[in-house]
């Protein structure tokens, strides 16, 4: 597909991220993967190296890398990881390559030596980059090459996606970003030419999304509501799914893929229906919307101000991306509501509101609509847009660097703390006194951080 500027943008992103993998040196660290990332990944070494999905090998009390694994215990006494298996499934080809290499080399074939770490880092870059590449193809069908190029650069470098590609590549967000774009691509393809193959592809995307992070299934509102502008069109859209058994062809791969998780639950708990997070839950009656969007602890609009522009762009979508307008207007508030109803609404040690990163795949369209509208006003507006865009990217990269140096702390920022380090490379002597450390136990049981 033509588009030299957007091709150059992709090239810049790809080279930058690959170089960033080696500059960040995550893969060289002895304890390269911990926390949630280890819980997502654990399925692979458990299956192919330990040959034990019940974590019984932990009972040997011998020191191992698995000592850092956050596990829970089911009602029948079996230890398990609480995370879904989707990330491990996507990582599997890269893991198997690393495993084969480790076996024929001098590296330990234990799942945690440098070849595994490097391949997992490359896997994250691969999926994030693939998401942007698919997104480019979709955007070019509705917007100009310059608009598309700027949107790609803004999402890659002007948001916290960049951080989760390079500095915490074992989390789910870069993978979920790819899956959201994949779902969108499948949606557009099916609506352009409904077919069983297209329905099957949609089902694969839906199954992978559910297997990776179940609350993200809210995004299935996009294919359900795509192109809908009124109730009559909603009825027509739903009827199309029943024509030629397309709904069945979508459900079959989705259920088969999510069946992997159900089989795991059956193994560890004796039941296909099992809540692996146990005492962690949502407080749907008291979501932290204001704090989650505007608060300095993790506010989405504070640490990813680009999203202000994306939301403003909803006003200009009717001309070039009207099919997505109603789906986004319904999906975005629901997604924000669910994400910020979680007991740990600031999502622990993280940069920005990481649980909303996958939504950038959808917010690219209102962002493109806004930029396209500005570009249409002439060369001066176009130049101004690029200058502002570069400024947004610079601020995001600067704050990412601050976070890696703990000038932006992972869970305790306040307005005073943020103000004290804004555009600074060093923290004041009283920086710790300006922070407010949350009480995790109180948040978990009383919804009060």
For 185-218, write each residue's pLDDT tens digit.
999 999 999 899 999 999 999 999 999 999 999 9
Domain of residue 104: give its range: 31-116
The Cα diameter of the chain in Å comes to 70
With 0-12 CB in 10 A as exposed, 13-18 as middle and 19+ as buried, what is 31?
exposed
Q: Give pLDDT tens digits for 17-35.
A: 999 998 888 888 878 888 8
Whether 59 maps to a domain, the answer reads yes
| Res 353 pLDDT > 90 | yes
Whether 108 maps to a domain, the answer reads yes
Q: What pTM was computed for the model? A: 0.95
Beta strands in 8-88 (DSSP E): 71-73, 79-81
Whether 52 maps to a domain, the answer reads yes
Whether 348 maps to a domain, the answer reads no
pLDDT band (50, 70, 90) for residue 377: confident
Q: How many angstroms separate the CA atoms of 35 and 201, rounded?
A: 32
| Res 411 pLDDT > 70 | yes
Q: How many angstroms separate the CA atoms of 54 and 23, rounded?
A: 36
- Asked whether the CA dihedral 129, 33, 86, 227 is positive or negative, the reply is negative
Number of domains in the chain: 1
Q: How many angstroms separate the CA atoms of 209 and 204, rounded?
A: 9
Query: In whole angstroms, how far apart are CA 43 and each of 53, 90, 184, 215, 242?
Result: 7, 11, 28, 20, 36
Whether 85 maps to a domain, the answer reads yes
Q: Which of 71, 76, 174, 190 is nearest to 131 (CA)?
A: 174
pLDDT band (50, 70, 90) for residue 449: low
| Encoded tokens for 6 | 């957007």
């Amino acid at each position: 597909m033509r588009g030299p500027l957007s091709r150059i943008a992709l090239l810049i992103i790809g080279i930058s991220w690959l170089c960033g993998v080696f500059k960040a040196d995550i893969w060289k660290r002895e304890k390269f993967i911990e926390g949630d990332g280890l819980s997502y990944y654990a399925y692979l070494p458990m299956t192919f190296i330990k040959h034990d999905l019940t974590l019984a090998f932990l009972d040997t009390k011998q020191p191992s890398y698995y000592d850092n694994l956050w596990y829970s215990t089911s009602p029948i006494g079996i230890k398990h990881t609480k995370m879904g298996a989707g990330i491990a499934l996507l990582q599997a080809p890269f893991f198997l390559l690393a495993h084969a290499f480790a076996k024929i080399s001098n590296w330990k074939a234990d799942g945690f030596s440098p070849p595994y770490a490097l391949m997992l880092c490359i896997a994250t870059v691969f999926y994030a980059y693939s998401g942007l590449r698919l997104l480019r193809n979709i955007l070019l069908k509705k917007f100009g090459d310059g608009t598309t190029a700027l949107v790609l650069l803004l999402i890659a470098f002007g948001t916290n996606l960049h951080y989760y590609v390079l500095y915490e590549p074992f989390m789910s967000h870069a993978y979920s970003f790819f899956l959201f774009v994949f779902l969108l691509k499948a949606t557009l393809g099916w609506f352009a030419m409904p077919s069983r193959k297209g329905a099957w592809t949609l089902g694969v995307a839906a199954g992978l999304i559910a297997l990776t992070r179940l609350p993200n299934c809210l995004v299935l509102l996009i294919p359900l509501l795509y192109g809908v502008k009124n109730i009559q069109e909603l009825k027509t859209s739903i009827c199309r799914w029943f024509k030629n058994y397309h709904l069945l062809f979508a459900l079959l791969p989705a259920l088969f893929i999510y069946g992997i998780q159900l089989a795991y639950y059956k193994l560890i708990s004796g039941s296909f229906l099992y809540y692996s997070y146990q005492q962690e839950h949502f407080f749907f009656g008291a979501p932290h919307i204001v704090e989650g969007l505007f608060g300095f602890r993790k506010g989405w609009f504070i640490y990813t101000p680009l999203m202000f522009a994306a939301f403003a762009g909803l006003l200009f979508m009717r001309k070039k991306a009207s099919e997505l307008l109603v789906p986004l207007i319904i999906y975005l508030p629901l997604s924000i509501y669910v994400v910020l109803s979680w007991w740990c609404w600031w999502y622990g040690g993280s940069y920005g509101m990481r649980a909303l990163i996958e939504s950038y795949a959808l917010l690219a369209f209102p962002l493109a609509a806004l930029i396209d509208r500005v570009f249409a006003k002439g060369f001066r507006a176009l130049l101004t847009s690029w200058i502002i865009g570069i400024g947004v990217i610079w601020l995001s990269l600067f704050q990412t660097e601050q976070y890696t140096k703990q000038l932006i702390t992972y869970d305790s920022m306040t307005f005073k703390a943020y103000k004290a380090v804004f555009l600074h490379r060093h923290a004041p002597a009283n920086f710790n006194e300006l922070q407010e450390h949350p009480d995790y136990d109180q948040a978990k049981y009383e919804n009060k951080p």
